[in-house]
Structure 1
């Protein structure tokens, strides 16, 4: 993905993002971001005894007699059942990476870091799910643990999820593969899973868990978050950086290192995107300096590539 351009009109959006990052009222931020968004998470439909006629099919043992078309029986001398469609309430799960690397801040917008951006986007998805009447829950990976807010519906559930998101801090490393595997029971019925992370490690226990969920026929959608400095390697020359999730010392980047860094970084995230395509996982890559509402809209609009 090419670095974003900086036309004069971009300044107000950055200023607004900075203002939103300073407030502790997630609901206020959600109202601003969702204003005029105009669409929901899904348009799921499932076959059943609904009100909108779809088609006929042959009667099968166990079908309800009230769904038999008696007029068609008189004409065809065979039992047929009226199939209809009704709205499906697909459970929505929000998955937040709250490990130490998510504390990486923007070097362009004060107060904005990866965790703030991820948690705010997921809060907006939760608000949309609540408006649609869907059940929704939250999974947070932080400091080697998995924290759950069980799926439910309604305004009180939204308050529980927002409170859990607001308390999340960027700590430690991802849980182990064994810990994550043992916790995948949360998504029993087919669900939509919205996961936000920097995916600096791929493959990783997190990627393995998400791929396993996809293989379980869940609709998995990933949001990869990067900073503009990470994209164009605009780190201060000679400055030292320490990986917060590893114990491998201090790293310095020189002007001579930038081209290699950008090449390796792009290769890594191309591999993430390629793995998602191979496994029919919706994937969107964004920078935390972009307008949050635009990132959310683009992520949700990938319904055409939604896993089936």
Structure 2
């Protein structure tokens, strides 16, 4: 059987990849904070007039000679927003997995999040940042919404730069309602209007989770020595990475992503860094980790 990165690279049908990746994953997107007669036990509290008798813990009454009620937390439905950086740099390919690039990995990861949201009954929507603009599908529930999201992701191609601040501010109109935001990109343009938009969402107390993707070659600088490379989103001409440049490249890249991580910590945005050659299941587990588990 194909490993997950190769499956992402070669599968034309996102449904197939979702079924493969989510088999046995078992993660939900959020834990609600509504109190009531839910499934997951939270705490005991003293009985108060009006409480349902079926929620009284009779065994605890026998031990403590007082009435206590079992409190539980149940999932509360919130909107799930999928944010995809589809700028030109996301077309960077893996040097070891044929047919795989950062965009394919990101849109497959977001497709899996959409499938989980649909499975647990949440409304979910999509924002694609491409060619300097945003394309949005408003949140809805159900299998048809999942197919709309998958179709939009499947036809997305990397191009252009990220949207400017005005375009992203217009897109943030959904921020009035509680949301979980899963943002996937390569974070090469940081700080940027995109990073500022994520910070504004977090400032409005939305649950924002960022996935920063790289290729293995980008991480360790194992590009073919002497070949010329062009900035996909700029007009700075051609660049050559020689064997003597690798140490400086790795130091500069490390400093950049240290700054990304520091900015996320400052805004209380959980950051998951991953290489597209990694198994997608493990990356999803890290990205889906609930806020309480992070601490």
Structure-2-length-normalised TM-score: 0.87
The root-mean-square deviation of aligned C-alpha atoms, in Å, is: 2.3
Paired residues of 2:91 and 2:102 also in contact (CA < 8 A): yes
Partner of 2:118, secondary structure, is helix
User: In structure 1, what is the Cα distance between the partners aligned to 2:52 and 2:27?
Assistant: 40
- What displacement does 1:98 show? 0.5
Match of 2:25 among 32, 37, 48: 37
For residue 66 of structure 2, what is the aligned residue in structure 1? none
Paired residues of 1:281 and 1:306 also in contact (CA < 8 A): no
For residue 91 of structure 1, what is the aligned residue in structure 2? 79
Instruction: Point out 4+ residue stretches in structure 1 off by more than 6 angstroms.
Output: none
User: In structure 2, what is the Cα distance between the partners aligned to 1:57 and 1:140?
Assistant: 50
User: In structure 2, what is the Cα distance between the partners aligned to 1:55 and 1:193?
Assistant: 33
For residue 51 of structure 1, what is the aligned residue in structure 2? 37
Unmatched runs of 5 consecutive residues or more in structure 1 = 1-11, 59-66, 72-81
- What displacement does 1:54 show? 6.8
Matches within 5 A, 1:200-239: 200-239=188-227
For residue 160 of structure 2, what is the aligned residue in structure 1? 172
Match of 1:110 among 98, 110, 117: 98
Unmatched runs of 5 consecutive residues or more in structure 2 = 54-69
Moved more, 211-220 or 185-194: 185-194
For residue 6 of structure 1, what is the aligned residue in structure 2? none
User: In structure 2, what is the Cα distance between the partners aligned to 1:97 and 1:265?
Assistant: 19
> What is the number of residues matched between the two proteins?
275
Q: Cα deviation per residue 1:210-243 (whole Å; 9 max; x = unaligned)? A: 0010001100000000000000000111110001
Q: Cα deviation per residue 1:75-123 (whole Å; 9 max; x = unaligned)? A: xxxxxxx987543002110000001000000000001100000000000
Structure-1-length-normalised TM-score: 0.83
C-alpha change, 1:70 and 1:92, in structure 2 (3 Å) is closer
User: In structure 2, what is the Cα distance between the partners aligned to 1:39 and 1:133?
Assistant: 14
Q: Establish whether residue 126 from structure 1 lines up as the match of residue 124 from structure 2.
A: no
